[in-house]
Structure 1
Amino acid sequence: MIITQVHIHVLPEHVDAFLVATLDNARNSVQEPGVIRFDVLRQADDPTRFSLMEIYRDAQAPVAHKETAHYARWRDTVAPMMASPRTSVRYEAEFVPTSSTE
């Protein structure tokens, strides 16, 4: 499994539009065969900060994800909404409940 957490800081005036675009991307992403989970999280104490928790079946799945039309649409739509460039961190799974991988 490949796990990536993306950290995003959105300009306050774009939060609603960012969320619409991001939820569209997430709904399409979970339809991809290589995507196990695609969670959209908003920071509780700062509504302009978001995190995407992306869990992929294998190393090819994130590559395939970035080749989809919905990812390209999301990337291009939200780029001007960012307060700062998004960052990401890759993780290796040490424990994932069985129900998350089936």
Structure 2
Amino acid sequence: MLIQMVSINVKEGHAAEFLEAFRINYEGTRKEPGNLRFDVLRDPQDENTFLIYEVFQSAEALEDHRKTEHYKECVRIIDPILAGPRTKLYYNAEMADFL
């Protein structure tokens, strides 16, 4: 299993627009056969800061995800409202029976 955590900061006043766009990605990703989990987390102290927690069966499943229309559409919408570049961290799940 591969875990991807994406940190995203949006420009002031664009949090609702970001969430609308990310719903497209969330709903599509949850239907992908290689996706095991997809959470959109919001910083309780900064409404413009988000962490996306994604669990995929494999690196190949993540690559397949990046080719989907819902992913591309989400990125197209959010890119202009980002306050800076998205940052990504990757982890392998060592003890994942809970999934």
Alignment pair present for 1:9 and 2:13: no
Aligned-pair distance for 1:94? Answer: 2.4
Structure 2: distance between partners of 1:81 and 1:19: 11
What residue number does 1:81 align with?
A: 81
Match of residue 67 from structure 1: 67
Alignment of 1:51-62 (within 5 A): 51-62=51-62
Matches within 5 A, 1:82-97: 82-97=82-97
Give, as a single letter, the amino acid of the residue that structure 2 aligns with 1:9: N
How many residues matched? 99
Deviation at 1:84, TM superposition (A): 0.6
Q: Which runs of 5+ in 1 are unaligned?
A: none
Deviations along 1:22-47, whole A, 9 cap, x unmatched? 12211110100000001100011111
- The TM-score normalised by the length of structure 2 is 0.96
Read off the aligned partner of 1:34 and give its amino acid letter.
G
Q: Secondary structure at the match of 1:78?
A: helix
Q: Is it true that 1:45 corresponds to 2:45 in the alignment?
A: yes
Shift of 1:97: 3.0
Identity percentage of aligned residues: 36
Structure 2: which 5+ runs fail to align?
Answer: none
